[in-house]
């Protein structure tokens, strides 16, 4: 939308009616998935092997395991671990990142710690967590969160450094309270950085959660994949993986995208 000028006769804004849903992009995605499935089916037919089952076999395993309640149970456990680790990493990482971004002396002192923790391999953190704290849920979730926190710190620190001081000055002149300042001035400016940290965070975290489950838990998708690896049951491995990916896709479409859409609507209307 173009900007209005002083001379324009100002028409009242009536909220636009939601236009009919555009199915084009969804159809494209569906077609893309169908093509992938067909290519997989063809490849499996050309190279028949227990190590490379066709998609229908995988689907059959998915349905069977879902009906037995196995997939929902293990998927639920893994999702809980992902959610807990994600929340911990985002909250702790954001708090530290905002603090370091606004306190340069503390940042100079703690920067080597951040670089160090960024470069510690995930596997080392997991193994050490299990040795130091035992094979328990706290160690598992803590190890996953610890792996992600440095990335969140770095992203949010950059975001805080880029805060526009003119808005800060305006908020001081008009005596915004601390909560109003955070909600209306700071967080909207950090939103793109928070979105970037969350996006990369969720994909990294669920992969690390699987490793944590494989190494030291007795349930969850990672544990099941390890089990079927020992049985050389590739169809079950793929069934669990696909089920998890589908859930993550649903979360992306039903939760992440609508949230992002709502928080950036001012930007779209302004262009």
Partner 1 sequence: MNTLRPVGADARLEIEIRRKSFEASRGGSIDVLHDLDFAVEQNEFACLVGPSGCGKTTTLRLLLGLDHDFEGRIKLPGAGEPRIGMVFQEPILLPWRTVEENVRLALPKALQGKNLDHLFDALGLGKLRAFYPGELSLGLARRAALARALAIEPDLLVLDEPFVSLDEATAQQLRHLLLQIWSEHPTTVLMVTHNVQEAIMLADRIFVLSPRPSHVVGSFLIRVPRQSRNPQVRSDILRSFHERFPTQL
Site residues, partner 1 (CB under 8 A): 1, 3-6, 10-13, 166-167, 169-170, 172-176, 180, 184-185, 188, 266-267, 269-271
CB of 76 to partner 1, least distance (A): 36
Q: How far apart are CA 148 and CA 82, in angstroms?
A: 11
H or E element, residue 60: helix 55-68
Q: Which is nearer to partner 1, 66 or 264 (CB)?
A: 264
Q: Which is nearer to partner 1, 37 or 163 (CB)?
A: 163
Q: Show the tokens assigned to 237.
A: 């491995």
Q: Which is nearer to partner 1, 6 or 17 (CB)?
A: 6
Q: How far apart are CA 117 and CA 120, in angstroms?
A: 5
Q: Show the tokens assigned to 222.
A: 């990672």
CB of 262 to partner 1, least distance (A): 11
Q: How many residues does the chain have?
A: 271
CB of 201 to partner 1, least distance (A): 23
CB of 237 to partner 1, least distance (A): 45
DSSP structure class, residue 135: S
CB of 98 to partner 1, least distance (A): 18
If you write DSSP's letter for every residue of 177-200 in order, what string do you get?
-HHHIIIIIIHHHHHHHHHHHHHH
153 closest CA partner among 68, 208, 91: 91
CB of 257 to partner 1, least distance (A): 18
Q: Which is nearer to partner 1, 5 or 218 (CB)?
A: 5
Q: Give Cα 180 to chain centroid, integer Å.
A: 27
Q: Which is nearer to partner 1, 1 or 51 (CB)?
A: 1
173 CB burial (10 A radius; 0-12, 13-18, 19+)? exposed
Q: Which is nearer to partner 1, 21 or 166 (CB)?
A: 166
């Amino acid at each position: 939308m173009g900007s209005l000028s002083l001379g324009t006769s100002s028409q009242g804004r009536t909220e636009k009616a939601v236009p009919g849903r555009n199915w084009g992009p969804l159809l494209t995605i569906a077609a893309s998935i169908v093509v992938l499935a067909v290519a997989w089916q063809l490849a499996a037919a050309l190279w028949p092997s227990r190590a490379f089952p066709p998609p229908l076999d995988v689907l059959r395993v998915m349905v069977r395991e879902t009906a037995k309640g196995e997939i929902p149970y293990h998927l639920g456990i893994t999702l809980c671990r992902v959610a807990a680790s994600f929340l911990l990493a985002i909250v702790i990482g954001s708090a530290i990142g905002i603090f370091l971004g606004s306190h340069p002396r503390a940042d100079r002192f703690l920067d080597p710690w951040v670089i160090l923790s960024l470069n510690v391999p995930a596997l080392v953190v997991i193994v050490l967590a299990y040795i130091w704290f035992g094979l328990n849920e706290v160690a598992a979730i803590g190890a996953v969160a610890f792996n992600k926190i440095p990335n969140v710190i770095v992203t949010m620190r950059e975001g805080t450094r880029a805060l526009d001081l003119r808005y800060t000055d305006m908020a001081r002149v008009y005596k915004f309270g601390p909560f109003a300042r955070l909600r209306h001035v700071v967080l909207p400016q950090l939103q793109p950085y928070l979105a970037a940290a969350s996006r990369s965070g969720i994909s990294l975290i669920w992969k690390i959660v699987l490793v944590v489950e494989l190494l030291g838990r007795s349930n969850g998708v990672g544990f099941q994949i390890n089990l079927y690896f020992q049985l050389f049951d590739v169809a079950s491995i793929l069934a669990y993986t696909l089920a998890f990916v589908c859930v993550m896709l649903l979360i992306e479409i039903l939760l992440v995208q609508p949230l992002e859409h709502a928080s950036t609507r001012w930007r779209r209307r302004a262009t």
